[in-house]
Amino acid sequence: MRKLKITSESVTEGHPDKLCDQISDRILDAYLKEDPYALVAVECMISNHLLVIAGEVKSTAVISVEDVARKVLLEVGYRTSEIGIDGANCLIFKNIHEQSSDIHQGVVKRGARDDVGAGDQGMMYGFACTETEELMPLSISLAHKLAKQLEAVRKKGNMLYLLPDGKAQVAVEYDENFQPLRIDEVVVSTQHKAGVNLDVLRESVEKYVIHPVLEGHLRDENTRIYVNPIGRFVLGGPFADTGLTGRKIIVDTYGGVIPHGGGAFSGKDGTKVDRSGAYMARYVAKNIVAAGLATRCQVALSYVIGSREPSAVVIDTFGTEKMEVNLLHAIVRKVFDFSPKEIINTLDLRQPLFSQTSVYGHFKDDGDLPWERADKAELLSELAHLVHKGVMST
Q: How is the chain split into domains, by residue range? A: 4-11+138-236, 122-130+272-389
Q: How far apart are CA 218 and CA 138, in angstroms?
A: 10
Residue 3's pLDDT is what? 84
| 85 burial via Cβ count (<10 Å: 0-12, 13-18, 19+) | buried
CATH match of 4-11+138-236 with 1.50.10.10: no
Pairing of the two strands 122-129 and 91-97? unpaired
**Helix 16-34 vs helix 65-76: crossing angle, to nearest 10:** 130
| CB neighbours of residue 333 within 10 Å | 13
From residue 128, how far is each of 13, 18, 57, 283, 363 by CA, in Å?
25, 24, 33, 9, 10
List the chain pLDDT tens, one digit each, 394 residues.
Answer: 678 999 999 999 999 999 999 999 999 999 999 999 999 999 999 999 999 999 999 999 999 999 999 999 999 999 999 999 999 999 999 999 987 665 555 566 445 556 677 767 789 999 999 999 999 999 999 999 999 999 999 999 889 999 999 999 999 999 988 899 999 999 999 999 999 999 999 999 999 999 999 987 789 999 999 999 999 999 999 999 999 999 999 999 999 999 998 789 999 999 999 999 999 999 999 999 999 999 999 999 999 888 888 999 999 999 999 999 999 999 999 999 999 999 999 999 999 999 999 999 999 987 789 999 999 999 999 999 888 766 655 5
Residue 177's pLDDT is what? 86
Q: How far apart are CA 34 and CA 23, in angstroms?
A: 17
Q: How far apart are CA 126 and CA 316, in angstroms?
A: 10
Fold match between 4-11+138-236 and 122-130+272-389? yes
Whether the full predicted model's pTM is greater than 0.85, yes or no, is yes
C-alpha torsion sign, points 316, 318, 322, 323:
positive
Q: How far apart are CA 291 and CA 80, in angstroms?
A: 50
Please give the angle made by the CA atoms of 280, 284 and 286, to the nearest 5 degrees: 115
Residue 110's pLDDT is what? 46
CATH fold group of domain 122-130+272-389: GMP Synthetase; Chain A, domain 3 (3.30.300)
Residue 393's pLDDT is what? 58
Long-range contacts of 322-331 (CB under 8 A, 24+ apart): 322/292, 322/293, 322/294, 322/384, 323/293, 323/384, 323/387, 323/388, 327/384, 327/387, 327/394, 328/288, 328/293, 328/294, 328/384, 330/394, 331/380, 331/383, 331/384, 331/387, 331/394
